[in-house]
Chain A
Amino acid sequence: QQPVQSPQAVILREGEDAVINCSSSKALYSVHWYRQKHGEAPVFLMILLKGGEQKGHEKISASFNEKKQQSSLYLTASQLSYSGTYFCGTAGSARQLTFGSGTQLTVLP
């Protein structure tokens, strides 16, 4: 079952912050986050394994609440290069990911 992402789209100015949410109705083993620019392949950002850990990658971080089966991606002081579509991918006990519907992020100068 496809995880639900919110918001569907967000527009912000360079330097502003954004939060993208991902929730699943299934028990999760892990959550992945990817960014895809138009016409390109998805690029891995980070993976969170069950345990509620929070990870960071420069000014992008994420949290995973396994009890609520939710993850959030935090983008702080956004840069123009952050523009793209963000997908969360969730995995249960199986090896495969199911991707959410995506959040289109546009950063304006």
Chain B
Amino acid sequence: DAMVIQNPRYQVTQFGKPVTLSCSQTLNHNVMYWYQQKSSQAPKLLFHYYDKDFNNEADTPDNFQSRRPNTSFCFLDIRSPGLGDAAMYLCATSGGPGGGASEQFFGPGTRLTVL
């Protein structure tokens, strides 16, 4: 089945220790998104790629970086995680013109704990 896969599902890191979360998709969608979702809150968009075109939200901290080496894979790097970065990180994809006109397919998420 075509899907969005995130690894790992659970990640524990220490304060200040870099961490990388990964997302892969078999849908061949051109748009990929990274969201941060804290408990009982809405998903908050961090950045998205339209093909290789990277789009950063204005309020995304510099601590967060992303890479998309090819259509299928996208990575979220948190350079120096703080306690406030503990959250669920959701990867999503969409085909066609993108989020406004196309449904987004979400991966299962990676729950990040910062000790």
Interface residues of A (CB under 8 A from B): 2, 29-30, 32, 40-44, 47, 49, 87, 89, 91-102
Contacts and interface: CB of A to CB of B under 8 A. Distances in A.
A30 B101 CA distance: 7
Interface in B59-115: 90, 97-109
A6 to B, nearest CB: 14
A95 B48 contact: yes
A96 B42 contact: no
B25 to A, nearest CB: 13
B46 to A, nearest CB: 10
B91 to A, nearest CB: 9
> Interface of chain B, helix or strand or loop or mixed?
loop
Contacts of A29: 100-101
B100 A101 contact: no
Interface of B: 31, 33, 40-45, 48, 50, 55, 57, 90, 97-109
25 contacts: A2-B42, A30-B101, A41-B90, A41-B107, A41-B108, A42-B43, A42-B90, A43-B106, A44-B103, A89-B99, A89-B104, A91-B99, A91-B100, A91-B101, A93-B100, A95-B48, A95-B50, A95-B98, A95-B100, A96-B33, A96-B45, A96-B48, A99-B43, A101-B41, A101-B42
A2 B44 CA distance: 10
| Residue in A2, A97, A98, A99 with the greatest tally of chain B CB atoms within 10 Å | A97
A2 B90 CA distance: 18
Contacts of B105: 44
A97 B90 contact: no
A29 B48 CA distance: 19
